[in-house]
């Protein structure tokens, strides 16, 4: 009954928004193929207004969300915010001071926001909870002028409600659906963010990754997703799984759009000081967008991890597509080193053997309890309360004990003897693998020379492109 009521509220908000603004959507602007750069140019030139842009996306949501379930909740203040943005743009303002002014964005439902939007990790247990402040990345988005359009659906509790939980399902959002192939699945846990951007329900979204949660949905749903090095983006105000591995990253339809968001959300946050302080000194002075140039691959050494990831039949469309991609990289000056292997890969890819499962189970309790303790109000205050709410078994986790410490050390050792060794011995700038198949290789890695703490594991950045699986 409660879930039905919440869905009805979402529908009423959509209908109200649409009914109040039908007359606004009279432009011939091509919203469907517009990049963030296109949107900014159109807004600055007066071809469209932020109200028109928001109304376009609300119309898309009204049409598509009942089927694909990308969005859990809409921001009822979005239209009012758009009015304020339009007035600001009509007055004198410096476009460089607010690079996302008037651009709507979706947030994964684990990213805290002040105001009317709930933050629930897809669970009814956290509905009506009240956060003390915006998450660090939300503060940065608002400062850049972005309009928070709503909260995207996700795999409930970032896949930690149950080992058998279906990708893209939550009690609040229902079952998310892949817009390109309803039977293919969405992957997760940042499923709604990927679905929403693919359907043009919003041009941009944020996801959170522990191990594949941005990379996998972006790959399956034909998007670009960036999983930044841990510490580049703040985790303050995030319902996290692991402080070692969790990181917030953008999801978009182009690399340039994703990087534009990344430039906005990176930086030091005193509420995540150790991680963001260590990483902040690696952020280039002009941001990351200047590195997007056609000649950027010239002289770069790129490793290709063939086995077991590129296991496509020789004449398949997948094999031919990747061969074409590699040829393009060569023509752009990249130095490709093929047929690489990581000797301990089978252990790394097994979360039970690598220690990842042991560590994450303990870290989830610590991270969740810390988040719940910080809330102004919440129906639940601990992991034990959440488990009781869901009528599950008693909590068996008691924190980081000897077994968990040994598991974390094991992951660091595996990574040092695996990917890190491969990268250093070959002086690679990057490695390539298809889809999200090697996300664990990067997720468990401890790379002390990367912008992160020594005891962190997600040392390297992931960049996901559309999969050809």
pLDDT digits (tens, 9 = 90+) for 194-233: 999 999 999 999 999 988 899 999 999 999 999 999 999 9
Segment 391-405 shows an average pLDDT of 57
Q: Name the least confident of 200-214, 292-306, 415-429.
A: 415-429
Alpha-carbon span 37 to 45, nearest angstrom? 12
- Position 362 scores a pLDDT of 83
One DSSP character per residue, 328-395 reads HHHHTT-EEE-S---TTHHHHT-HHHHSHHHHHHHHHHHHHHHHHHH-SB-S--SHHHHHHHTT-PPP
- Position 393 scores a pLDDT of 38
58 pLDDT higher than 70:
yes
- Position 466 scores a pLDDT of 56
- Position 463 scores a pLDDT of 66
Q: Provide the residue count of the chain.
A: 469
394 pLDDT higher than 50:
no
Helix (H, G, I), strand (E, B) or coil at 18: helix
- Position 366 scores a pLDDT of 87
62 pLDDT higher than 80:
yes
442 pLDDT higher than 60:
yes
Alpha-carbon span 88 to 81, nearest angstrom? 11
Q: Chain-wide mean pLDDT for the chain? A: 85
- Position 9 scores a pLDDT of 47
Alpha-carbon span 441 to 254, nearest angstrom? 25
Segment 326-339 shows an average pLDDT of 95
454 pLDDT higher than 60:
no
Q: Which residues are catalytic?
A: 108, 189, 213
Q: Are 175 and 106 in contact (CB under 8 A)?
A: no
- Position 386 scores a pLDDT of 72
- Beta bridge partners, 462, equal 227
Please tell me which residue, 376 or 403, carries the higher pLDDT value: 376
Identify the band that residue 461 occupies on the pLDDT scale cut at 50, 70 and 90: low
Best mean pLDDT range from 92-101, 164-173, 268-277: 268-277
Alpha-carbon span 228 to 246, nearest angstrom? 10
Q: What are the tokens at 208?
A: 């959170």
Segment 402-416 shows an average pLDDT of 78
Q: Name the least confident of 66-70, 299-303, 458-462.
A: 458-462
Q: Name the least confident of 2-11, 32-41, 155-164, 299-308.
A: 2-11
| Residue 180: count of CB within 10 angstroms of its CB | 12
Q: Name the least confident of 17-21, 76-80, 250-254, 384-388.
A: 17-21
- Position 406 scores a pLDDT of 80
Among 441, 431, 418, 416, smallest CA distance to 300 is for 431
381 pLDDT higher than 80:
no
> How does strand 147-152 pair with strand 204-209?
unpaired
Strand ranges inside 115-246, DSSP E: 147-152, 169-170, 174-175, 204-209, 224-227
Q: What is the pTM of this model?
A: 0.85
Q: What's the N-to-C CA distance of the chain in angstroms?
A: 39
Cis check: omega of the bond before 448, within 30 degrees of 0? no
Helix (H, G, I), strand (E, B) or coil at 301: strand
Instruction: Find out if CATH 3.90.1300.10 is the number for domain 2-291.
Output: yes
299 pLDDT higher than 60:
yes
Residue with tokens 């990574």: 415
Identify the band that residue 395 occupies on the pLDDT scale cut at 50, 70 and 90: very low
- Position 106 scores a pLDDT of 99
Alpha-carbon span 205 to 191, nearest angstrom? 11
Torsion of CA 322, 328, 330, 333, to 10 degrees: -140
245 pLDDT higher than 60:
yes
Please tell me which residue, 386 or 210, carries the higher pLDDT value: 210
Quick: pLDDT tens for 97-147.
899 999 999 999 999 999 999 999 999 989 999 999 999 999 999 999 999
Q: What would you report as the CA-atom Rg of the chain, rounded to the nearest whole angstrom? A: 22
Among 342, 284, 276, smallest CA distance to 309 is for 342
Q: What percent of the chain has pLDDT over 90?
A: 59
Q: Are 130 and 378 in contact (CB under 8 A)?
A: yes
């Amino acid at each position: 009954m409660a879930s039905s009521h919440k869905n009805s509220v979402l529908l009423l908000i959509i209908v109200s928004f649409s009914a109040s603004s039908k007359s606004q959507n009279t432009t011939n602007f091509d919203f469907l193929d517009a990049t963030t750069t296109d949107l900014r140019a159109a807004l600055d030139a007066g071809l469209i207004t932020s109200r028109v842009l928001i109304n376009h996306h609300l119309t898309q949501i009204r049409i598509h969300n009942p089927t694909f379930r990308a969005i859990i909740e809409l921001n009822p203040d979005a239209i009012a915010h758009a009015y304020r943005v339009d007035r600001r743009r009509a007055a004198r303002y410096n476009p460089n001071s607010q690079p996302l002014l008037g651009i709507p964005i979706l947030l994964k439902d684990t990213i805290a926001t002040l105001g009317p939007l709930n933050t629930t990790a897809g669970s009814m247990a956290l509905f009506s909870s009240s956060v003390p402040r915006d998450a660090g990345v939300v503060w940065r988005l608002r400062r850049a002028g972005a309009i928070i359009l709503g909260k995207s659906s996700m795999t409930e509790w970032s896949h930690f409600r149950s080992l058998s939980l279906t990708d893209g399902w939550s009690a609040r959002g229902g079952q998310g659906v892949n817009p390109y192939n309803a039977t293919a699945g969405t992957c997760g846990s940042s499923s709604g963010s990927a679905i929403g951007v693919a359907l043009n329900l919003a041009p941009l979204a944020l996801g959170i990754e522990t191990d594949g949660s941005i990379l996998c949905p972006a790959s399956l749903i034909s998007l670009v997703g960036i999983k930044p090095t841990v510490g580049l983006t703040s985790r303050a105000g995030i319902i996290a799984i692991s402080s070692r591995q969790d990181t917030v990253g953008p999801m978009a339809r182009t690399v340039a759009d994703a990087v534009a968001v990344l430039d906005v959300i990176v930086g030091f946050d005193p509420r995540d000081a150790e991680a963001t302080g260590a990483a902040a000194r690696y952020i280039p002075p002009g941001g990351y967008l200047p590195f997007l140039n056609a000649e950027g691959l010239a002289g770069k050494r790129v490793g290709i991890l063939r086995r077991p990831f590129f296991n496509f039949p020789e004449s398949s469309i997948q094999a031919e597509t990747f061969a074409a991609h590699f040829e393009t990289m060569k023509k752009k000056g990249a130095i490709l080193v093929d047929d690489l292997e990581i000797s301990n890969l089978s252990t790394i890819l097994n979360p039970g053997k690598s220690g990842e499962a042991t560590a994450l189970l303990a870290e989830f309790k610590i991270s969740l309890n810390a988040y719940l303790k910080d809330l102004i109000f919440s129906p639940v205050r601990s992991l034990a309360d959440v488990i009781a709410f869901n009528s599950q078994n008693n909590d068996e986790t008691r924190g980081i004990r000897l077994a968990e410490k040994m598991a974390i050390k094991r992951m660091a050792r595996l990574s040092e003897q695996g990917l890190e060794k491969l990268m250093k011995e070959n002086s690679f700038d990057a490695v390539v693998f298809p889809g999200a198949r090697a996300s664990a290789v990067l997720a468990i890695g401890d790379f002390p020379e990367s912008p992160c703490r020594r005891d962190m594991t997600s040392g390297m950045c992931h960049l996901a492109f559309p999969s050809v699986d």
